[in-house]
Structure 1
Amino acid sequence: MQEEMLRELLQAVQRGEMDINDAMQRLRLLPFESVGGFAHLDQHRAIRCGFPEVVFGQGKTPEQVVQIVRRLAERNDRVLVTRVAAEMAQVVLEQIPEMAYHAVPRLLILNRSPDTPKRPGIVVATGGTADIPVAEEAAMTAELMDQQVVRLYDVGVAGLHRLLGHLEVLQRARVIVVVAGMEGALASVVGGLVSAPVIAVPTSVGYGANFQGLSALLTMLNSCATGVSVVNIDNGFGAGYLAGLINRLGDPA
């Protein structure tokens, strides 16, 4: 939508339908746009990075999220809001019914082109069922980036045969997101089985000595398996976004 806007502005000036000063005023919205005195939206993000700015919902009021989403939706086909509580989602959906709320990963998504072909190659695996909310945040982020995701849930190291039963799927992947709490060993195991890059996501799932995900984070950072990188605790969005970028390498610009 950004590129179309630039093209339309140029054509309007060339046809004499718009004054150059008016066109310049419109262009000023592209680098960033001030919203309500509380946000500066990066309206150039889609052009630079291939995906619009993503909104972190936690800590914002529902009214702030509504205003931000409305401005982003005017210039982008896709809008993603992360860390959205159900109460906030209800307010936003009442005012922007075009969006959809996904309660498990706590995501609000606007997608006006859901039938765009998806590129295969991403696997998202979890150690346990309790890790699914973070895994779904990763998987749905990648899918919004037009990536196809295979989910392998509850394949942790406490029952290694569950993981090995999907070895062929893992070895066909171009990039794997591994989401695990407790001791976080699953990422190292997967990294030793595949040639694809592994993005490890520690979660805050676990008992007291897990320290809200710190033990899993340290395990993943100290992995002896090669090809394993690590994102922050519970950062499914960051892992899904990175997986999407990796999987689309080689696509035409």
Structure 2
Amino acid sequence: MEQNEIKKLLQNVADGKISADGALLRIKNKPFEDLGYAKPDFHRKSRQGVSEVIYGAGKTAEQIIGISQSFAKHGQKDILITRLDKEKAEKINSEITLKYYDTANIGIIGSMPEKRVGKIVIATGGTSDIPVAEEAAVTSEMLGNNTMRLYDVGVAGIHRLLAHTDEIMTARVIIAIAGMEGALASVIGGLADCPVIAVPTSVGYGAAFNGLAALLSMLNSCASGVSVVNIDNGFGAAYQASMINHMGGLNE
């Protein structure tokens, strides 16, 4: 059950339209379905505010279809699928209508929310970081956030970033995505007055160690207000940014 459904149910109890026992029975309705290979969580949105997201890597197209159909059967019409390759997306789309975002490796069943709030800025050090950034951007939009992309604004040409000072200063949350030495997060952290979520990417030459150098650099940032997620984890950064952006009953 979604939070607004629970509120409506509680209001019906207060108005005498349903008994307390009847309401309890509806709330206790089985929170998941055992499919054998997965247990879709139908109460995720009521607990955390966001419906369960399907992680596509390692799952077959048939398993993703089964999980999606289970969600749909229990009222979840809009479904986000991350780390989904094109071949699986095509198989899923033959059974369920799916919009595929090729660069982000994301599939969406249903639709994006029409209402979006706040402002999340997603900045990348280089063009090679865009696949991770697009995972973050599409996730951010699906979670109901106004999302601005600032791509290829790395420290090798710092003037490119400084040309967007207004966007940085007016953001509610910034996601800074970079490989190599990962310096972008520290620079943005020194300019912004909002939380900065750093995403190290596996972009870089040998000594970058597939993103480890950027990860350690971001963890050791001297700029205050910078937090760090795992290497290439655009989804995790966007999820955290969305939680921050929606705090405090934001209704812009």
TM-score by length of 1: 0.88
Q: What residue identity is the alignment partner of 2:51?
A: P
> Which letter does structure 1 place at the counterpart of 2:162?
L
Partners of 1:111 and 1:181 lie apart in 2 by 33
Of 228, 231, 243 in structure 2, the residue corresponding to residue 245 of structure 1 is: 243
Which residue pairs with 1:46 in the alignment? Answer: 45
Which residue does 1:215 correspond to in 2?
213
1:28 maps onto 2:29 in alignment: yes
Aligned to 1:110: 109
Tell whether the 8 Å contact from 2:120 to 2:148 is kept in structure 1 after alignment: yes
Q: Which amino acid aligns with 2:193?
A: S
Are the counterparts in 2 of residues 81 and 108 from structure 1 also a CA contact under 8 Å?
yes
Give the corresponding residue for 2:165. 167
Distance in 2 of aligned mates of 1:73 and 1:28: 16
Equivalent residues of 2:3, 2:45 under 8 A apart: no
Compute the displacement of 1:114 (Å): 3.5
**Which residues of structure 1 form unaligned runs of 5+?**
none
Question: Hey, what does 1:236 align to over in structure 2?
Answer: 234
- 8 Å CA contact 1:111–1:144 kept in 2: the answer is no
1:168 Cα deviation from its structure 2 partner: 1.1
* SS of residue in 2 equivalent to 1:178: strand
What is the letter of the counterpart of residue 92 of structure 1? I
CA distance in 1, matches of 2:167, 2:138: 19
Equivalent residue for 1:192?
190
More displaced stretch, 71-80 vs 172-181: 71-80
After TM superposition, give the deviation of residue 2 of structure 1 in Å: 3.6
Secondary structure class of the residue paired with 1:33: coil
With normalisation by structure 2, the TM-score equals 0.89
Counterpart amino acid of residue 195 in structure 2: P
What are the superposed Cα offsets for residues 85-119 of structure 1, whole Å, 9 maximum, x if unpaired?
Answer: 1111011111101x21101010011234632x211
CA distance in 2, matches of 1:26, 1:122: 34
SS where residue 210 of structure 1 aligns?
helix
CA contact (8 A) 2:169 2:191 kept: yes
Give the number of equivalent residue pairs: 244
C-alpha separation in 1, matches of 2:54 and 2:176: 24
2:150 maps to a residue whose letter is L
1:86 aligns with 2:86: yes
Give the match's secondary structure for 1:41.
coil
Deviation at 1:223, TM superposition (A): 0.5
Change (3 A) 1:148 1:25: closer
Distance (Å, rounded) in 1 between the aligned partners of 2:176 and 2:196 = 7
In the TM superposition, residue 3 of structure 1 has moved relative to its aligned partner by 5.3
- 2:147 aligned with 1:146, yes or no? no
Match of residue 177 from structure 1: 175
Counterparts in 2 of 1:27 and 1:157: CA distance versus 1, 3 Å: same
Aligned equivalents of 2:111, 2:157: Cα separation in 1: 41
SS of aligned partner of 1:80: strand
Structure 2: stretches of 5+ with no match in the other structure: none
Q: Partners of 1:252 and 1:180 in 2: how far apart?
A: 29
Question: In the aligned structure 2, how far is the partner of 1:3 from the partner of 1:173?
Answer: 28
Which of the numbers 107, 120, 130 marks the counterpart of 2:118? 120
SS in 1 for 2:197: strand
Structure 1 contact 2–76 (Cα < 8 Å) conserved? no
Q: Distance in 2 between matches of 1:49 and 1:26?
A: 16
Deviates more, 1:74-83 or 1:166-175: 74-83
Shift in Å at residue 73 of structure 1?
2.6
Distance, in Å, in 2 between the alignment partners of 1:26 and 1:185 is 48
Counterpart Cα distance in 2 of 1:240 and 1:26: 30
Aligned partner (choices 191, 200, 203) of residue 202 of structure 1: 200
Q: Deviations over 1:138-176 (max 9, x none)?
A: 111111111000110000000000000001110111110
Whole-angstrom CA distance in 1 between matches of 2:29 and 2:18: 21
